[in-house]
Structure 1
Amino acid sequence: MKRLFPLLIILLVSSIFTATSVLGETTDSLDHKIGDLEEEKNQLDEESQTKKSKLDETEDKLASNKGQQEETKDDLNQINNELEETQAELVQKEEEIADTNNQIAETENKIEETEKEIKKLKAEIKDLKKEIKELEESIEARDELLKNRLRSIQENGGNKSYLEVILGAQDFVDLINRAAAVTKIMDSDKSIMEEQEEDKAKLEQTKEQVEESKEEVEEKQASLEEDKSSLETTKATLKSQKGELDTLNDTLSEQMDEKESIMEELEMEEEELNEIILSAEEEQQLIDAQAASVQKAIEQAEQEKNRLEQLAKEEAERKEKEKQQQAANKNSNNNSESSSSSNADTSATPEVSSSGGGKFIRPTTGRITSSFGYRYHPVHKINKLHSGVDFGGRASGATNIKAAAGGVVSFAGWMGGYGNTIMITHSIDGQIYTTLYAHLSSVAVSNGQTVSQGEQIAVMGTTGTSTGLHLHFEIHPGGYKNPVDPMTYLN
């Protein structure tokens, strides 16, 4: 709204100038002027309706924008919830995969230990097989020995019993020898038979032990291999599930980025629409103010027309009375000429000017510390246009600020980096100007106030974006936002 204050004041001032300039016009010209003003007012009314229509359209767009923002926020919340759930599942899957990897590692260690046991058992089996072979050879040798003895007994009268052998002794010594021999043979046969039975039993036992050990190791190895295969399958499944979750997470992240981008665009659009609405409202206020000024000018023109018509009527009545008086005195001996009253000049009303002079004066004393033009900004640290002239202050105290020309105060207050600021609208030689006075410590005027050239309006300061005591002074021909070098306009 601040940027429209100068334009608003310009319109109000121009309307006042228009109203005051018609004071010296004739009734015919006033009729023409009133017609022009009414046509202008009608155009302003039409423009006002157009602006209102565009404002309504923009407000509808803003409402739609806000609705889209709400939908986008809901989508963002939903995606965010899905992302959180997916990421939680990812963490769980990673933990499960880690646990499965540990189990696989443990199983592999067990398999490695089992393989060592198998290797050891195979060595034992090898020894047992060797022992079995030895037993089989021993049994086979005994079987051969027993076969030979039986064959010998058959060949040498195998029908005789050991008792007959003993009883066939020739003497006592022979008896003793025969008895000893029979005993020895019997013991040998018995020992052979017992050893044979023991070896056969041991052989069977060893074979059974080998088979049992082999089956146990094979079963253990098969179980471990099965466990490992199952764990590998589980691991592959978990990795597949994690891959799906990673894909989902990437998709959701992309959707989140897309929605956030849409949200940013909607927020930017909302700002632009709000700015459009604000500008439209300001323009509407400007149009309304202009229409009010035109209406005021019409009313003043009507009043002036009525005044002129009244004056003309009175003048006609005066002339008629004078004519009658002259006729009555026509035959008088004393025909002295009566002097007629001088006619009132109804078309010489002086035009009013809001300017205190035709030129600008320096707004304050002091030397120029920074000229108009591009420079390296002491605060922002970039090259930018310095749209005015800086006048330095006195170290000994405050410096008064004067109006560079007469006019109407269009703004008086705080203006961002300018700090305390005054803007004055002037009409000089038919040209509209705006002067700006910034970084003031105090302001002595208010919006809409009329000031004269040289009148004190403020005190120099260092408010806003400022590095020291000074006055920043600007001149804008044709209204604000058109800065020129002030030095080309100052006395």
Structure 2
Amino acid sequence: MKRLSLSLVLLVAITMIFTSNPTLVDAASLNSKINDLQKEKEKVSKEKSSVSNKVNDTEKKMEENKAQQNETKNEISELDSNLASLQEQLKQKENEIQTTNNNIAKTEEEIKQAEDEIEALKEEIKQLEEEIVELEQKIEERGELLKGRLRSIQQSGGSIKYLEVILGAQSFGDFINRATAVNQIMNSDKTIMEEQEADKKQVEENKKVVEESKQEVEKQHASLQENKKQLEGERANLVAQKQDLNNIQAELDKQRSEKQSLMANLEEEQEQLEEIKLSAQEEQQLINAHLASLEKAIAQAEAEKNKVEQYSNNQSKGSTASSGGGSGKFIYPTSGPVTSHFNPNRLHPIHNVIRPHNGTDFGRRSSADSVIKATASGVVSFSGWMGGYGNTIMITHVIDGKTYTSLYAHLRSRSVSRGQSVSQGQQIGVMGTTGSSTGVHLHFEIHPGGYKNPANPLNYL
């Protein structure tokens, strides 16, 4: 049985109902009772105003909480969007870093190839330099030879001597031989000169090729080194950018975690506010029922007073008072056995926390036990759904000048309505398991002397 909360206790309206015989009640007693009822009405009206303010304040807090929840949801949504965008940026940076690494690897391969070419070129240059040395040596040797020939020609008169050699022939055959020899010598000199010029030209070309090749390869090598340096700089920059993005992601993840914690707290607070509002609304409901019962009691007392005054005017004899409480004692509301006693410190069977059990529970052995009866005569001050109590009936009794309220909870059905007068033993409902209940049973309470005062029912049965 769920603990009767402050709001539910406030709802236990103490309605003083009087059904009296005008011949048995004096006017002074009725005036006193009417005054007491008016004071009770004023007290309950103040409580109604206080509870109404409580409901309004709670609704305002709920609206503020809801607005903060919506704001937090939007912030979480924005953070999720930023995180998704950041993931795309991180993915893009990783791709760029991978591309740069590939370019660096490719450049390093090209540098290696260029270095291999430089080494091969060095070998070629070495061979060319050796060839240049050989050619220069040949050129030098030919130069010496040509110098000797020129000195000889200069000393002998040049072509005139060749003519003398030819004309000094003794026979035609000798002439042919001498002419052929002279021609060979001249051709040889010409060939030597041509080779000398060709070798000199080749030397110059080889030197030029060597220099150009050197410059080209060194330029290519330097360019590749510079390109590699730039790529490594780009990679370092991309890695730094990725680290920045990782730091931003960590901060966003932290913010999102904080917002989710805040959201959980707000949702928990909203549930608590809803429970407070529900209790306050239930409290309002019973206070309204209590006020209605008080007004009915005041009207009945006024009617009784008018009857007494009219009877006095007619000079009637005195009377004895009878209570609307019936027999003046309480009876068991069901024939079922007691299954749980009144206990201010009971462990709640559903919520597993210590909560007061403000009544006595009765179980069911047979269908006859399911019939719920009024414990005493009185007026129904509440009949309806009451939160964890489920289907609930409350009856106000006046017995021996004292006011009591009895409560019947977890009913399957109710057969009486608010404001209805009932007699002791009259069936008012059927046992059930509505509201916060672990099985079919009746939760029964008695509040003597006013609300906020639950007592052990077994002390009154």
Q: TM-score, normalised by structure 2?
A: 0.73
**Structure 1 residue aligned with 2:35:** 35
Query: For each residue in 1:127-186, what CA deviation from the matched residue of structure 2 results, as whole angstroms up to 9, or x when unmatched?
Result: 2222222222222232233345555667x7576733334445688898777656545543
The offset of 1:292, in angstroms, is: 2.7
Question: Equivalents in 2 of 1:229, 1:33: separation in Å?
Answer: 104
Q: Check the 8 A contact 1:406/1:426 in 2, yes or no.
A: no
Q: Check the 8 A contact 2:383/2:392 in 1, yes or no.
A: yes
Matched pairs, number: 441
The worse-fitting range, judged by mean Cα deviation, of 162-171 and 117-126 is 162-171
1:403 and 2:376 correspond: no
Q: Check the 8 A contact 1:434/1:477 in 2, yes or no.
A: yes
Distance 1:459 1:304, change over 3 A: closer
Question: Equivalents in 2 of 1:460, 1:426: separation in Å?
Answer: 22
1:91 and 2:91 correspond: yes
Question: Equivalents in 1 of 2:45, 2:148: separation in Å?
Answer: 147
1:132 and 2:132 correspond: yes
**Aligned partner letter, 1:100:** T
1:353 is aligned, of 306, 311, 325, to: 325
Distance 1:281 1:253, change over 3 A: same
Question: Equivalents in 2 of 1:414, 1:132: separation in Å?
Answer: 117
Q: 5+ unaligned residues in a row in structure 1: which ranges?
A: 316-342
Question: Equivalents in 1 of 2:52, 2:460: separation in Å?
Answer: 43
Question: Equivalents in 1 of 2:191, 2:331: separation in Å?
Answer: 152
Q: Check the 8 A contact 1:359/1:489 in 2, yes or no.
A: no
The offset of 1:444, in angstroms, is: 6.3
Q: Check the 8 A contact 1:400/1:456 in 2, yes or no.
A: no
Q: Check the 8 A contact 1:389/1:485 in 2, yes or no.
A: no
Q: Check the 8 A contact 1:8/1:290 in 2, yes or no.
A: no
Listed as ranges, the matches of 1:139-218 within 5 Å are 139-150=139-150, 157=156, 161-167=161-167, 182-218=182-218
Distance 1:385 1:52, change over 3 A: closer
**Aligned partner letter, 1:110:** E
Q: Check the 8 A contact 1:402/1:454 in 2, yes or no.
A: no
**Structure 1 residue aligned with 2:441:** 472
The worse-fitting range, judged by mean Cα deviation, of 300-309 and 420-429 is 420-429
1:279 and 2:251 correspond: no
**Aligned partner letter, 1:128:** L
Question: Equivalents in 2 of 1:115, 1:280: separation in Å?
Answer: 89
The offset of 1:258, in angstroms, is: 3.8
Query: For each residue in 1:25-62, what CA deviation from the matched residue of structure 2 results, as whole angstroms up to 9, or x when unmatched?
Result: 53333333333332332233333333334444444444
Task: Give secondary structure in 2 for the equivalent of 1:311.
Answer: helix
**Structure 1 residue aligned with 2:430:** 458
Distance 1:124 1:490, change over 3 A: farther
**Structure 2 residue aligned with 1:445:** 415
Question: Equivalents in 2 of 1:262, 1:283: separation in Å?
Answer: 31
Distance 1:276 1:355, change over 3 A: farther
Distance 1:99 1:6, change over 3 A: closer
The offset of 1:124, in angstroms, is: 2.0
Question: Equivalents in 1 of 2:452, 2:30: separation in Å?
Answer: 35
Question: Equivalents in 2 of 1:356, 1:68: separation in Å?
Answer: 56
**Structure 2 residue aligned with 1:222:** 222
**Aligned partner letter, 1:196:** Q
Listed as ranges, the matches of 1:4-153 within 5 Å are 10-11=12-13, 14-17=14-17, 19-20=18-19, 26-150=26-150
Question: Equivalents in 1 of 2:128, 2:19: separation in Å?
Answer: 136
Query: For each residue in 1:68-104, what CA deviation from the matched residue of structure 2 results, as whole angstroms up to 9, or x when unmatched?
Result: 4444455445444444444433333333333333333
Query: For each residue in 1:342-379, what CA deviation from the matched residue of structure 2 results, as whole angstroms up to 9, or x when unmatched?
Result: x7442x222232689634375348xx9x77798997xx
Question: Equivalents in 2 of 1:103, 1:451: separation in Å?
Answer: 99
Question: Equivalents in 2 of 1:272, 1:375: separation in Å?
Answer: 21
Query: For each residue in 1:211-237, what CA deviation from the matched residue of structure 2 results, as whole angstroms up to 9, or x when unmatched?
Result: 232232223223333333333333344
Question: Equivalents in 1 of 2:361, 2:290: separation in Å?
Answer: 32
**Structure 2 residue aligned with 1:297:** 297
Task: Give secondary structure in 1 for the equivalent of 2:441.
Answer: strand
2:335 is aligned, of 332, 347, 363, to: 363
Q: Check the 8 A contact 2:69/2:266 in 1, yes or no.
A: yes
Q: Higher relative contact order at CA 8 Å, sep ≥6: structure 1 or structure 2?
A: 2
Distance 1:463 1:434, change over 3 A: closer
Q: Check the 8 A contact 1:354/1:406 in 2, yes or no.
A: no
Task: Give secondary structure in 1 for the equivalent of 2:314.
Answer: helix
Task: Give secondary structure in 2 for the equivalent of 1:16.
Answer: coil
Q: 5+ unaligned residues in a row in structure 2: which ranges?
A: none
Question: Equivalents in 2 of 1:484, 1:162: separation in Å?
Answer: 162
Question: Equivalents in 2 of 1:265, 1:273: separation in Å?
Answer: 12
Task: Give secondary structure in 1 for the equivalent of 2:15.
Answer: helix
